[in-house]
Structure 1
Amino acid sequence: MQAQTQWVTTSDQQRLYVKTWGNEAKPALVLVHGYPDNQEVWELIIQQLMQDFYVLTYDVRGAGKSSVPKRIRDYRLEQLSLDLESVVNAVLENRPFHLAAHDWGSIQSWESVTEPKFRDRILSYSTISGPCLDHAAFWMRQQFRQNKPRFFKQLAKSWYIAAFQLPVLAPTIWTLFTPEKWDKVLQQLEHQKDLPLNSHIASDGKHGIGLYRANFLPRLTRPRQRFAICPVQAIVLKQDNFVSPELIDEVPKWAENFQRVEIDANHWAILSQAELVAEEIKTFALKNN
């Protein structure tokens, strides 16, 4: 596969590394990666989608080849949404686009998907293993009142969120990971060998902790009402070790046009079940083109 590459400068002067794939005349599709990944995690998916879409990916701030902010507050959701806006304005100009995202890419993309200024710009949104933090906060509060076992089940899955708040220990742990060691972790989680290596895993893991520190406490303690401005598809991974499929139960309250599909896979299905995930993204986007 051949990609066109360019750099985009954000509103606060960070530099994001951007790639585009396929025929520019096709419908535009933006893919936003999660943590601790960079845009290379999408390449198996891109192989399936570039015949039908003009695909755009980018390393989010602090990941891959993009620049690393110095302050935790520079990872706020509001700024991440501005980053997406900077990228699509630079590459797509005024064109509308479809959006799909995984993990933290999905969490941050919800900020844009619930922003009125993106109405008629974002044509559809496929979210994978990344709830809107505001929606998740409302869901957790309801479960605590009505279904405490379900509340504590998700709390147990989210142990790493508390660990990532530790100022020295969390970044240090990531320095111990080599691409090969991280690959063994993914193999165990996904029950599949020969998955693509992340050569930036130590730095992606270390710097991306800022995403958690800048956003979780503010959003979970002071959730906002956030309504989707486009059709939303939740690709639910039934075996996800980190995000409970039950979190998606909250989404229909906030998305007028919503559909849910399920895949029997773990958290990194975009690697282990790339064809299935790509087909769901493709079908939903073309239906809402």
Structure 2
Amino acid sequence: MEERWFTLNGETFFARTWGDPSLPPLLMLHGFPEYSGAWEELALELQDQFYCVAPDQRGYGQSYCPEGVENYRTGVLASDMAALARELGAPVTVMGHDWGASVAYGLAMFFPDLVSRLIIANGVHPVPFQRAMAAGGAQSEASQYINALRRAGSEDYLARDDFGKLLQLFSAHMDLSWLSGEKLAEYKTEWGRTGRLKAMINWYRASTLVVADPGETVALAPMDVSRLQVTCPHLLTWGIEDTALLPMSREGLDAFANDLTVVEIEGADHWVLHQKAREVAEVVREWVG
């Protein structure tokens, strides 16, 4: 692994890289509450085929961490990674997980000339996800943690007991056995950087997504879905035991991606990149060809 620093839109961003820089770039975008090191297992599997570049996204790890919720809107986050894609020699293959998937979708939809292929691991397109969360059913119930995170001071609560509350949220109904020992210590180092946990949660506060109360529905404003299309080849890998993102959160995705491949992975949940890194890598290799 090598460390690199980038200046993106005038600000400083940190990244971890694996592989030969002469290989095709693979831009790897982490989610909450991870950081660039979350990609290590998968990058080690793919570094012979790609130059794997995993940045700490805005507000995370060692990268630019501004104050203010407005600095974490999805359009701003996507603009950061668009600048990085250009630095790497766009178009590039982009892969995202969790919140990183939202940024990856933003790149594919609004900067299509920068993205040659889109790979998502347990992440969601905003339209199917919003529809599922607004319906008041199982996904609305599973997403109540979003409303909890948005509350004032949630970062202080989650940091209690040496981040015990954050770990409890992180592992709810899912297998966290991969996060222990030295790896857990590394995560706590990243969470403990000044202002980072608040910035990480500000991604949720800045989002316009609405979570209905269970049993209730929320009427959604009409959306111009023509602007939300993924025109490049798109691979979705899915750990089928995910309890945070349910299968209904991806229903109708094919209406937004005309070249879509979905591969479900058994024995894995939301943390599929840690639990089944080799299997995910094999799926990526076969799909890329």
Q: With the length of structure 1 as denominator, give the TM-score of the two structures.
A: 0.84
Separation of aligned partners in 1, 2:41 and 2:33: 17
Q: Which runs of 5+ in 1 are unaligned?
A: 145-150
Separation of aligned partners in 2, 1:40 and 1:201: 13
Separation of aligned partners in 1, 2:44 and 2:164: 24
Matched residue type, 2:157: I
CA-to-aligned-CA distance 1:141-189 (integer Å, 9 cap, x gap) = 5xx3xxxxxx411011101111112112x11122226378866864972
CA separation of 1:231 and 1:283: change in aligned 2, threshold 3 A: same
Q: Displacement, 1:283?
A: 2.4
Matched residue type, 1:262: E
The match for 1:48 is: 45
Separation of aligned partners in 2, 1:74 and 1:193: 32
CA separation of 1:245 and 1:209: change in aligned 2, threshold 3 A: same
- 1:227 aligns to 2:222 (yes or no): no
The match for 1:242 is: 244
Separation of aligned partners in 2, 1:283 and 1:186: 31
Separation of aligned partners in 1, 2:245 and 2:201: 17
Matched residue type, 1:278: A
The match for 2:19 is: 22
Q: Displacement, 1:34?
A: 0.4
The match for 1:105 is: 100
Q: Displacement, 1:137?
A: 2.1
Q: 2:130 aligns with which of 125, 137, 155?
A: 137
Q: Displacement, 1:237?
A: 1.6
Contact 2:128 2:251 in 1 (8 A): no
Q: Displacement, 1:138?
A: 3.7
Worse overlay, 215-224 or 252-261 = 215-224
Separation of aligned partners in 2, 1:159 and 1:187: 12
Contact 1:176 1:202 in 2 (8 A): no
Secondary structure (helix, strand or coil) at the match of 1:20 reads: strand
CA-to-aligned-CA distance 1:64-84 (integer Å, 9 cap, x gap) = 111211111111111111111
Worse overlay, 19-28 or 48-57 = 19-28
Any residues of structure 2 matched to 1:119-134 within 5 Å, and which? Answer: 119=113, 121-134=114-127
The match for 2:281 is: 278
The match for 1:174 is: 158
Contact 1:139 1:250 in 2 (8 A): no
The match for 1:269 is: 272
Matched residue type, 2:120: T
Q: Displacement, 1:232?
A: 1.0
Worse overlay, 230-239 or 177-186 = 177-186
- 1:215 aligns to 2:210 (yes or no): no
The match for 2:65 is: 68
Q: Displacement, 1:16?
A: 1.1
Separation of aligned partners in 2, 1:31 and 1:257: 21
Contact 2:231 2:259 in 1 (8 A): no
Secondary structure (helix, strand or coil) at the match of 1:270 reads: helix
Contact 1:171 1:209 in 2 (8 A): yes
The match for 2:140 is: 155
CA-to-aligned-CA distance 1:81-135 (integer Å, 9 cap, x gap) = 1111111222x13x421111100000121111112x423x312111122212233
Separation of aligned partners in 1, 2:58 and 2:33: 12
CA separation of 1:86 and 1:160: change in aligned 2, threshold 3 A: same
Separation of aligned partners in 2, 1:24 and 1:208: 29
Secondary structure (helix, strand or coil) at the match of 2:43 reads: helix
Q: Displacement, 1:206?
A: 3.1
What is the total number of aligned residue pairs between the two structures?
270
Q: CA RMSD in A?
A: 2.5
CA separation of 1:107 and 1:193: change in aligned 2, threshold 3 A: closer
Q: Displacement, 1:229?
A: 2.2
Contact 1:179 1:200 in 2 (8 A): no
Q: With the length of structure 2 as denominator, give the TM-score of the two structures.
A: 0.84
Q: Displacement, 1:140?
A: 4.8
Matched residue type, 1:190: D
Separation of aligned partners in 2, 1:187 and 1:247: 18
Q: Which runs of 5+ in 2 are unaligned?
A: 212-217
Separation of aligned partners in 1, 2:197 and 2:243: 18
Identity %: 23
Matched residue type, 1:240: D
CA separation of 1:10 and 1:130: change in aligned 2, threshold 3 A: same
CA-to-aligned-CA distance 1:26-67 (integer Å, 9 cap, x gap) = 221111000000010110111100011111110001111112
Separation of aligned partners in 2, 1:218 and 1:73: 17
The match for 2:215 is: none
